[in-house]
Amino acid sequence: MGDFFNKIIELFTTPQYIEAMLHGFLLTLQIAFFAIIIGLIIGTVVALVDTAKASKWLMLPKLICKVYTTIIRGTPMALQLFIMFFVIFAIKGFPQIIIAILAFGFNSGAYVAEVVRSGIQSVDPGQKEAGLALGLKNITIFRKIIAPQAIKNIIPALGNEIITVIKETAIVSMVGLYDLNMAAKDIGSGQNMASYIVPMFVAALFYLAVVYLITFVIKRVEKRLRKSDLRAV
Amino acid sequence: MENKIITIKDLKKEFGKNKVLRGIDFALDPGETVVVLGPSGSGKSTFLRCINRMEEPTAGEIYFKDTLITDKNIQKMRQKIGMVFQHFNLIANLNVMDNLIMAPVTLKLMSEEKAEQKAKDLLKHIGLSNKAEAYPASLSGGQKQRIAIIRAMMMDPEVLLFDEPTSALDPEAIGDVLSLIREVDKLGMTIMIVTHEMGFAREIASRIVFIDEGKILEEGTSETFFTHPKTPRVKEFLEKVL
């Protein structure tokens, strides 16, 4: 046990180790952050197309969305990452971090789309009817009635998706990116600490801390949203 | 068609193979109070919901005054055709005041101040002034439905459609909602109601329309309908419900 604590101290006091760790952590956060943004944008657009009333103009977009979500959700993330790196962006000198962001963003978009779609569809149809019966336009009904209520349904599941993306970014180490996961492996290797347990334990704590923070924020947001619609006088 | 508020010609509605409305011709005079009766599944709610196109008719024509209701003008028409739903459908993310003023203000039918004043007056009238800031989730069914009725009144409609307005309420709340409908009726509002409250129907209706299997089987004044029904089907229905 004493050895374990000595190793922890060694990791945190050796600039080379702790800097590598933080570098990796930063890369993980960068990839996750931008991937989540892209995922939210793609996911929202796909969900809107998906839930829009069928029409001539939307036939092709709806088909594209369907194909997109089916492929993304039906194949492994690791394979999608490989395809992005070694097939689609097999361009010398193209920034690897951007490829990773795009890979995770495209992946997350399909899941966000499902979350947003089910959030929109779980709004009571009577809410839309109320707006229609008052003579409001569809766009007004969506903005003022459907969207605010859908967001309430979406937030918890979206929190899950954000957490999933953060953790899933660990597989970028498979294509050689130096993220938190890779940093832990590198520091634990023979040329460095020659022991995996401590760096991996610390990496786990880093992941946990972020996930915990996000869970906390999501819970707070959820609570606030719920309060507003139960508020009496 | 002259002077009619609503004119319906050969209205048909099918849900897949299920023919719910099989050709309805109907006209509504200003100031009339028409109660639509019929066994469950007869298509009476569908009939009412087709008038403001909550349901898309399969065939037939619906006129508001002289204007054929089409895809293009439906939003304008709906501003003049108020509707009250069985499940109230107050907008959950808006408080009572915003429920009342949102449509007239968004549609620029009224200034915000004017709308708020009108909403306050109406709330005061139904004794719910203290609920202006409350959200629908905190209200009882009877309160919700009365607010839904004044929400429809905010638009100054020329006709009000009530789709089973008391079916989701407890007996005490039913009384409150029916009194409010009576008051609206006394103002001279043109009204169509689908209801299962026979006593109320008999009292308020200037005309009863009986729908069975997607067609108007019988219609007449409240008195004739309830005391001298013409068809055996209506006789049987009345024996069961009275």
Tell me, yes or no, whether A129 lies in a domain: yes
The predicted structure's pLDDT at residue A12: 87
pLDDT over threshold 50, residue B217:
yes
Strand pairing partners for B27?
A: B7
Tell me, yes or no, whether A189 lies in a domain: yes
Task: Give the model confidence (pLDDT) of A71-96 as tens digits.
Answer: 999 999 999 999 999 999 988 889 99
Q: Are B28 and B6 in contact (CB under 8 A)?
A: yes
Residue of A nearest to B76 (CA): A135
Helix residue ranges per DSSP H, B36-161: 44-51, 74-80, 96-106, 112-125, 141-154
Q: Which domain holds residue A174?
A: 2-227
Tell me, yes or no, whether A233 lies in a domain: no
Task: Give the model confidence (pLDDT) of B163-215 as tens digits.
Answer: 999 999 999 899 999 999 999 999 999 999 999 999 999 999 999 999 999 99
Asked if the C-beta of A19 comes within 8 angstroms of chain B's C-beta atoms, the answer is no
Which tokens hold the place of B174?
Answer: 């039913």
CATH of the domain at B50: 3.40.50.300
ipTM: 0.93
Tell me, yes or no, whether A173 lies in a domain: yes
B138 → closest Cβ in A136, A137, A232: A232
State the Cα–Cα distance between residues B174 and B176, nearest whole angstrom: 5
Tell me, yes or no, whether B129 lies in a domain: no
State chain B's mean pLDDT as an integer: 94
Q: How many CB atoms are located within 10 Å of the residue B132 CB? A: 19
Asked if the C-beta of B82 comes within 8 angstroms of chain A's C-beta atoms, the answer is yes
Tell me, yes or no, whether B159 lies in a domain: yes
User: Quick one: what percent of chain B has pLDDT higher than 90?
Assistant: 94
The predicted structure's pLDDT at residue A233: 46
Going by C-beta distance under 8 Å and a sequence separation of 6 or more, which residues neighbour residue A215?
A: A159, A163
The predicted structure's pLDDT at residue B154: 97
Tell me, yes or no, whether A232 lies in a domain: no
Task: Map tokens 């959030």 to a residue.
Answer: A119
Tell me, yes or no, whether B149 lies in a domain: yes
Asked if the C-beta of B140 comes within 8 angstroms of chain A's C-beta atoms, the answer is no
* Chain A closest-CA separation from residue B110 CA (Å): 14
Asked if the C-beta of B167 comes within 8 angstroms of chain A's C-beta atoms, the answer is no
Tell me, yes or no, whether A102 lies in a domain: yes
Tell me, yes or no, whether B11 lies in a domain: yes
Q: Do B138 and A144 touch (CB under 8 A)?
A: no
Asked if the C-beta of B235 comes within 8 angstroms of chain A's C-beta atoms, the answer is no
CATH of the domain at A69: 1.10.3720.10
Tell me, yes or no, whether B19 lies in a domain: yes
Domain count, chain A: 1
Q: Which residues of B touch A126 (CB under 8 A)?
A: 85, 87-89
Q: Which residues of chain A have pLDDT under 50?
A: 232-233
Give the amino acid at B107. L
Q: Which domain holds residue B235?
A: 6-90+139-241
Domain count, chain B: 1
Tell me, yes or no, whether B53 lies in a domain: yes
Asked if the C-beta of A136 comes within 8 angstroms of chain B's C-beta atoms, the answer is yes
Chain B 35-54, residues with CB within 8 Å of chain A CB atoms:
52, 54
Task: Give the model confidence (pLDDT) of B88-145 as tens digits.
Answer: 999 999 999 999 999 999 999 999 999 999 999 999 999 999 999 999 999 999 999 9
